[in-house]
Amino acid sequence: MASLVHAIVGGALIGAAAAGLLLVNGRIAGISGILAGAIRPGAARWQWAFVGGLIAAGVLARAGGLAAPLSLGLEPGATLAVGGLLVGFGTRVGSGCTSGHGVCGLANLSRRSLVATLTFMIAAAATVFVVRHLL
């Protein structure tokens, strides 16, 4: 039951953050686009604040015992590196990240985001099936 509450609260907070960014800055909360903008010369302060908030939320969740453990059978640094590379590759191939397509794109009724989100979900379901039932 606690995980259901965490999922609902987490989803509501993500939605509120995306809506807040759109209302305050008129920007879509696609994390990959925000991060790409933050590392470019002349980045806006709000981009760094957004990225800093993401990092701070993860640190606070871990400190509060709310974050899932890192467990892929790799050292934590290797897990982060492999995960980061895979996410970066997928973001480039999919012209955006899951947050941009799934939260903001679907809210804007984007067909491209619908196709991307369906692809993400099918790939996730296939991955869970392979990991849990075939490996």
In the predicted model, what is the mean pLDDT of the chain?
Answer: 83
Report yes or no: 97 and 91 within 8 Å, Cβ to Cβ. Answer: yes
- Beta-carbon contacts of 107 under 8 Å, excluding residues fewer than 6 positions away, are 18
- Beta-carbon contacts of 23 under 8 Å, excluding residues fewer than 6 positions away, are none
pTM over 0.85: no
Neighbours of 73 (CB within 10 A): 6
Report yes or no: 35 and 54 within 8 Å, Cβ to Cβ. Answer: no
pLDDT at residue 71 is higher than 80: no
Question: pLDDT tens across 106-126, in order?
Answer: 888 889 999 989 988 999 899
